[in-house]
Chain A
Amino acid sequence: MSKRALRLIGSRLIQVIPVLVLATFAIFSLLQLVPGDPAAVIAGETATAERIEQIRHMLGLDLPLWQQYLHWLGGAVRGDLSNSLITGLPVLDEVMRRLPNTLLIVICALLLSIAIGVPLGILAATNVDGRIDRIVTSIASLGVAVPNFWMGMILVGFFALKLGWFPTTGAVSIFQDPATALWHAALPACALALSGIAEITRQLRSSLIDVLSSQYVRTLHAKGLSQSKILWHHGLKNVSLTLLTVIGLVFNRTLGATVAIEAVFAIPGTGSLVVASATNKDFPVVQGVVFVLVLIVIFCNLLIDLLYSALDPRVNKR
């Protein structure tokens, strides 16, 4: 790796630090949103005074706010996200146990979105206002308006219950049995991919149309370059940055949307964990899941940032 690239990675990493500090503070502050006395709310209506005190002490709520934050941050840096209030087990272990199940369907969905969205976007942009374009844009409009968990229910109803081609619920670890794991992930990933496909198609179409109608493409036409050569050599090269941004956006959204999908397919992932713990007021777990997901998104954004500069040398100069 060249020295320049290393320096670039270094400067980007330094820029991440304030975001991380703010993010951890925001996650930590979640508890401040609880109306009234958080310890009493968490303990429930029937709790004894001792139990309330115990929870207050466990969460460190008897300390001043800045001390609470530093305490939490210190733990988080050492990989200690404290323990669940209900099971008493370490939060990080539980999150890490479930994360592969979530990431498997999210990554499958993302790959599906790219594999289907990119060709559809190109197809629509090269046939602007034609019949193909109209069909593709209609599908894309539908895709962003469909509740993904409803799509999941329809897929289960048809492909799992009626035809029996796929399992209805559950997940298998990708590390133990990759083939069965993918078989289980197929329907959830399809349901999740729908909005991603729609988003990628729309954005790619829109920016490709802009590029193809620009002055220099007209010049290329005048020079006698063929339509396909212009598209593949110049059009796609110019929209690759937009595509990268959209992929990052879709990844973030898919990571969120998977929560409802996990409920439909009874997948033991981080989404179902955050729902269960929010319902049971198990705040250390909620904070832990949000923390890990934010870390993943920040890492992903960093990766996209670095890819940007690899694709477009102008970015480095800024």
Chain B
Amino acid sequence: MSIVTEGAARTRTVKKRRNRFLSWLISDKRAAVSLTFLVLLASLSLLAGFIAPYSPLEQSMDILVPPSALHLLGTDDLGRDVFSRLVHGGPMTLYASFLAVCIGTLIGLPIGVLAGYIGGWVDTAVSRMIDTILSCPSIVLAIAVTGALGIGLTNSMIAVGIVFSPGLARLIRVQTMIVKGELYVDAARTFGMTTTRVIFRHILPNAIQPVIVQITLLLATALLAEASLSFLGLGVQPPQPSWGQMLARAYSYMEIAPEQMYAPGLAILFTALAFNALGESLRSLLDPTRRRSD
């Protein structure tokens, strides 16, 4: 009997959550459009092998042909199908963005939580360190770290992640400090809850919302950083395609085929726009007081 009611209750909560999610999407067109776009992009990336008519590395004698039915976006200077490279560049670019943001979160989150929770000289030291790292232009720092780690997509995205971490740490630090002062945290401690448990049960769940917004916005920043680094030859190495690397290629023969720079650039623009829009929508969803001025 009790199992049945529990199951029913769970179905009800799931349904309620789903309804709330749907009504959010219906009330916020911007969120709906950007989420649809990102889901489409993700499925396109998963199915890249089936959608792309050619292999992204396959060279041919048809060099720099204009768009046609055979080659939807034409071919590049090695006779490779630009549309196929664009489709295959998608998963590469998305992987890079997620990797950078994951690493940034994995480094920044614990540091921020500890600094905010422990306070005192730990907090002072961490905050000074954060201010220092943030005073270096982020792309320059990412380039310097990439140079040290070695050139390549994974290393360059680790570098971008390292560069992201101080900003995230600063945000979570402030949130932790706010939550730490709440009565229920004091109560939990009074009842003898261990510090680890307090952090995981009370601090993190209540401090995480602005971080989720920031992570969504950082995905756009990571995407642009990947594009820049690959454009500069520090990220994805040829012949593998990424949108930034395709732009670097298009740049080298811009005088002959200027139209080739539009597709990868627009792909970057729309994806970054979608991440940003989703982040802004999440922000106004989670913090309704800010809705007016954002």
Chain A residues within CB distance 8 Å of chain B: 18-19, 22-23, 26, 30-31, 33-35, 41, 128, 141-142, 144-147, 149-150, 153-154, 156-157, 161, 205-207, 209-210, 213, 252-253, 255-257, 259-260, 263-264, 271, 274-275, 277-279, 281, 283, 286-287, 289-290, 293-294, 297-298, 301
Contacts and interface: CB of A to CB of B under 8 A. Distances in A.
Contact of A259 (B145, B232, B254): B232
Contact of B231 (A128, A149, A271): A149
B32 interface: no
A22 B277 contact: no
B206 interface: no
Given A22-B129, A23-B135, A30-B145, A271 B140 contact: yes
Contact of A255 (B137, B251, B276, B292): B137
A289 B148 CA distance: 14
Nearest to A206: B293
A153 B234 contact: no
A103 B294 CA distance: 32
A48 B271 CA distance: 48
Interface string B217-231: 000100010011001
Interface of B: 128-129, 131-133, 135-141, 143-151, 220, 224, 227-228, 231-234, 244, 247, 250-251, 254-255, 258, 261, 265, 268-269, 272-273, 276-277, 292-294
27 contacts: A19-B128, A22-B129, A33-B145, A141-B277, A144-B272, A144-B276, A145-B220, A145-B269, A145-B273, A149-B231, A149-B247, A205-B293, A206-B294, A207-B293, A209-B293, A213-B292, A253-B137, A256-B138, A257-B228, A259-B143, A263-B232, A275-B143, A278-B234, A283-B147, A286-B143, A293-B136, A293-B140
Please give me the 6 A-B residue pairs with the lowest Cβ-Cβ distance, nearest first.
Answer: A278-B147, A256-B137, A256-B139, A145-B272, A33-B148, A150-B265
A146 B269 CA distance: 5
Given A18-B128, A293-B140, A31 B148 contact: yes
Contacts of B136: 23, 290, 293-294, 297
A77 B132 CA distance: 18
Given A33-B148, A146-B272, 18 more contacts: A22-B128, A33-B149, A141-B276, A146-B269, A150-B247, A150-B268, A156-B254, A206-B293, A209-B293, A253-B137, A259-B140, A260-B139, A274-B144, A275-B234, A278-B234, A294-B136, A297-B136, A298-B135
A153 B220 CA distance: 20
A207 B292 CA distance: 11
A80 B293 CA distance: 49
Given A255-B137, A275-B232, A153 B247 contact: yes
Nearest to B30: A141
A150 B149 CA distance: 27
Nearest to B163: A256
A22 B147 contact: no
Contacts of B247: 147, 149-150, 153
A153 B250 CA distance: 10
A156 B251 CA distance: 10
A150 B141 CA distance: 21
A157 B227 CA distance: 19
Given A33-B145, A142-B273, A271-B140, A259 B251 contact: no
Contacts of A213: 292
A79 B41 CA distance: 51
Contacts of B250: 153
Contact of A278 (B146, B273, B294): B146
Nearest to A162: B258
B170 to A, nearest CB: 14
A259 B292 contact: no
A76 B143 CA distance: 21
B293 A263 contact: no
B293 A210 contact: yes
A289 B140 CA distance: 9
A279 B136 CA distance: 19
A30 B258 CA distance: 39
Contacts of B132: 19, 22-23, 26
A283 B269 CA distance: 33
B257 to A, nearest CB: 11
B140 A154 contact: no
Given A30-B148, A209-B293, A278-B144, A259 B234 contact: no
B66 to A, nearest CB: 16
B227 A286 contact: no
B1 to A, nearest CB: 54
Contacts of B293: 205-207, 209-210
B258 A157 contact: yes
B108 to A, nearest CB: 16
A141 B145 contact: no
B147 A147 contact: no
A289 B146 CA distance: 15
Nearest to A255: B137
A294 B224 CA distance: 22
Contacts of B145: 30, 33
Contact of B276 (A18, A145, A293): A145
Nearest to A32: B148
